[in-house]
Amino acid sequence: MRDEITDDELDRQKELYVPFTEAVRALVDATIRTEVDDDEVRAVQAEVEALTERLRRRQLAGAYGVRFSSNGRGRPWGNPVVGIRNPAAPPVLVERDPAGKAWASFHLGAAFEGPPGLVHGGVSAMVLDQLLGEATGAGGKPGMTGTLTLRYRRGTPLGDLRAEAWIERSEGIKTWARGHLMDADGVTVEAEGLFILPRWARERTEPENPRYFE
């Protein structure tokens, strides 16, 4: 989705929503780990419901989507991995290299727990799916996930983590990428995926970027 938004307005919104969403993210963590008494939980619930009602007075009709300003700056702010307006996202702040690489360091806390003290396997898959996709996009070979294969080498502990991904090879509209998730002791999950440029994007992109179709 494209909208006419200036860089100044985009920066203003980012400055507004990043700390706001972080506050809600902290509330999620506190909700999971609180041990206050019953009356306090009920009192906080009433306050949260009142706040939710205030925010619902004016809202989007559907999901946030991925928005692009007129100069091409993207805003996947509702994304569950990188979305800065999504309290369910860690969020993962991704760095990219045009050579087809992407990486990020981030923290996963109580909201992402599966087995006791460990990251849920589905969360690991979601993060790696995002990173592999970021790598293909960074290398000029964007696509939708066709297949994603993971090898869980050991449990991933909650806490500070790093994910890395890179393009392995590309053939026309298909791109293969690999990556891994790691903690301080090394790799915990390995991933490989096939990414395919969808038909609607081929039709839109081909005249402008023929390299996608080499």
Closest CA to 20 of 68, 62, 63, 83: 83
Percent above pLDDT 70 for the chain: 90
| pLDDT at residue 149, as a whole number | 98
Domain CATH code at residue 134:
3.10.129.10
β-sheet with 186-196: strand ranges across: 95-97, 101-108, 159-171, 174-183, 186-196, 144-152
pTM given for the model: 0.88
**Cα separation, 161 vs 131, whole angstroms:** 13
Tell me, yes or no, whether 59 and 160 share the same domain. no
Tell me, yes or no, whether 76 and 138 share the same domain. no
Buried/exposed code over 40-60 (b: 16+ C-beta within 10 A; e: otherwise): eeeeeeeeeeeeeeeeeeeee
**Cα separation, 214 vs 209, whole angstroms:** 10
Closest CA to 31 of 111, 120, 113: 111
The residues that bridge with 13 in the sheet, in sequence order, are none
Which span out of 4-18, 107-121, 200-214 was modeled with the highest average pLDDT? 107-121
Tell me, yes or no, whether 102 and 181 share the same domain. yes
pLDDT category of residue 140 using cuts at 50, 70 and 90: very high
Tell me, yes or no, whether 105 and 141 share the same domain. yes
Q: Can you tell me which residue has the tokens 């290299």?
A: 97
In the chain, DSSP assigns E strands to 67-68, 74-75, 95-97, 101-108, 144-152, 159-171, 174-183, 186-196
- Give CB contacts under 8 A, 24+ apart, made by 204-213: 209/140, 211/140, 212/140, 212/141, 212/173, 213/172, 213/173
User: For 152-202, how does the pLDDT look when each residue is reduced to its tens digit (9 = 90+)?
Assistant: 999 999 999 999 999 999 999 999 999 999 999 999 999 999 999 987 776
Tell me, yes or no, whether 58 and 99 share the same domain. no
Tell me, yes or no, whether 159 and 124 share the same domain. yes
Tell me, yes or no, whether 208 and 121 share the same domain. yes
Domain count of the chain?
A: 2
Domain of residue 41 covers 1-87
Tell me, yes or no, whether 176 and 135 share the same domain. yes
Lowest mean pLDDT: which of 36-45, 67-76, 104-113, 193-202?
67-76
